[in-house]
């Protein structure tokens, strides 16, 4: 199968579920791609799960492009989405278009994602009109979580849910090819999913969405600081890595590593020549 396009993603709506994971480097992007995941997001969650920062607002364009380049070098099939970082699109619509273009031209991403904010419609429209495909992101939008009352489920009251429906439909009307719904009650996510003609990709939004996304470091158990309720750990790699590193340390201390099979040798005659010289 060739490279997945935004048109393919649109065409899967109501046919089969869509899969999406984050990646920030070559080895994991390569494995995720080989597993046949449809979409790989170079998420600004890199701030938390890779860079040890306490907020996604602390990464900028240069870090995001650095990671995006590593991911696109690895990916042969999945659609790669560059996540626009905080203040790369909120401050000025022209700047937003330039930064979106950098994800495509410099990092070879296929499209960009941006989080909902007051001027999301204006900015999304400009980016799409410039020829770049956009994935929307509504519900809990971590870059502006302080304005949403913190990291909590969104759309729990009818009025708030109505706003989410309006945001989703407005983004669809502008031409977004998909929308991430983050931390939304499952019933509201179901209503939005049914109303949209484009795929709704859920994270903490229940099973009725058209597809699911998770932060890879969460689902692999590589991020130990905090695990949100919506995360399922498919494997817990941290203790396994710790065990392997401890075993290496022990073998080095005991002189058991490297063993003969990890060692280069030389003819005894050559060593004798060297010694006699
Ligand atoms: O940055 C990220 O990982 C995201 C996902 C949570 C959708 O935006």
Reported as a single tens digit per residue, the pLDDT across 79-106 is 999 999 999 999 999 999 999 999 999 9
Between the alpha carbon of residue 112 and those of residues 30, 104, 109, 160, 211, the distances in Å are 20, 8, 8, 26, 18
What's the rounded Cα separation, in Å, for the pair 26 and 75?
8
Q: Which domains can be identified in the chain, with CATH numbers?
A: 6-235 (3.20.20.60), 240-276 (no CATH)
Atom of ligand 1 nearest to the CA of 115: 8
Confidence of residue 21 (pLDDT cuts 50, 70, 90): very high
What's the rounded Cα separation, in Å, for the pair 191 and 77?
31
Between the alpha carbon of residue 31 and those of residues 19, 28, 35, 77, 170, the distances in Å are 14, 5, 6, 11, 35
Q: How far, in Å, is the centroid of ligand 1 from the Cα of 179?
A: 12
Residue 58 has what pLDDT? 97
Residue nearest to atom 2 of ligand 1 (CA): 43
Q: Which residue out of 182, 224, 243, 251 is catalytically annotated?
A: 182
What's the rounded Cα separation, in Å, for the pair 257 and 166?
62
Q: Is the pLDDT of residue 62 over 90?
A: yes
Mean pLDDT for the stretch of residues 116-124 = 97
Atom of ligand 1 nearest to the CA of 56: 1
Residue 255 has what pLDDT? 98
Q: Is the CB of 218 under 6 A from ligand 1?
A: no
Residue 60 has what pLDDT? 98
Judge whether 211 and 205 are in contact, CB under 8 Å: no
For 103, the token pair is 């994800």
Of 48, 39, 42, which is closest to residue 19 (Cα–Cα)?
Answer: 39
Residue nearest to atom 8 of ligand 1 (CA): 43
Q: Is the CB of 213 under 6 A from ligand 1?
A: yes
Q: Is the CB of 180 under 6 A from ligand 1?
A: yes
Q: How far, in Å, is the centroid of ligand 1 from the Cα of 273?
A: 63
Q: Is the pLDDT of residue 229 over 80?
A: yes
Residue nearest to atom 4 of ligand 1 (CA): 43
Atom of ligand 1 nearest to the CA of 213: 7
For 58, the token pair is 């602390």
Residue 149 has what pLDDT? 85
CB atoms within 10 A of CB 11: 11
Mutation choice for ligand 1 from 20, 38, 213, 216, CB with most ligand atoms inside 8 A: 213
DSSP letter, residue 126: H
- pTM for the full predicted model: 0.96
Q: Is 232 exposed, middle or buried (0-12, 13-18, 19+ CB in 10 A)?
A: exposed
Q: Is the CB of 88 under 6 A from ligand 1?
A: no
What's the rounded Cα separation, in Å, for the pair 219 and 15?
25
């Amino acid at each position: 199968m060739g490279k997945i396009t935004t048109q393919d993603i649109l065409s899967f709506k109501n046919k089969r579920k869509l899969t999406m994971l984050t990646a920030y480097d070559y080895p994991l992007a390569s494995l995720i791609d080989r597993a046949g995941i449809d979409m790989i997001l170079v998420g600004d969650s890199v701030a938390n799960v890779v860079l040890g920062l306490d907020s996604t607002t602390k990464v900028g364009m240069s870090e995001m492009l650095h990671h995006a380049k590593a991911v696109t070098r690895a990916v042969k099939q999945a659609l790669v989405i560059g996540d626009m970082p905080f203040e790369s699109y909120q401050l000025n619509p022209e700047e937003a278009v330039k930064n979106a273009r950098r994800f495509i031209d410099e990092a070879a991403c296929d499209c960009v994602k941006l989080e909902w904010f007051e001027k999301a419609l204006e900015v999304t429209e400009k980016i799409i009109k410039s020829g770049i495909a956009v994935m929307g992101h509504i519900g809990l939008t971590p870059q502006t979580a302080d304005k949403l009352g913190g990291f909590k489920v969104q759309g729990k009251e009818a009025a708030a849910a109505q706003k989410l429906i309006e945001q989703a439909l407005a983004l669809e009307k502008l031409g977004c090819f998909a929308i991430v719904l983050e931390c939304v009650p499952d019933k509201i996510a179901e209503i939005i999913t049914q109303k949209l003609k484009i795929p709704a990709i859920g994270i903490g939004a229940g099973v009725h969405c058209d597809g699911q996304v998770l932060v890879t470091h969460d689902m692999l158990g590589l991020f130990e600081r905090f695990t949100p309720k919506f995360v399922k750990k498919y494997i817990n790699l941290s203790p396994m890595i710790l065990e392997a590193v401890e075993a290496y340390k022990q073998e080095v201390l005991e002189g058991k590593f490297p063993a003969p099979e990890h060692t280069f040798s030389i003819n005894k005659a050559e060593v004798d020549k060297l010694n006699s010289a």
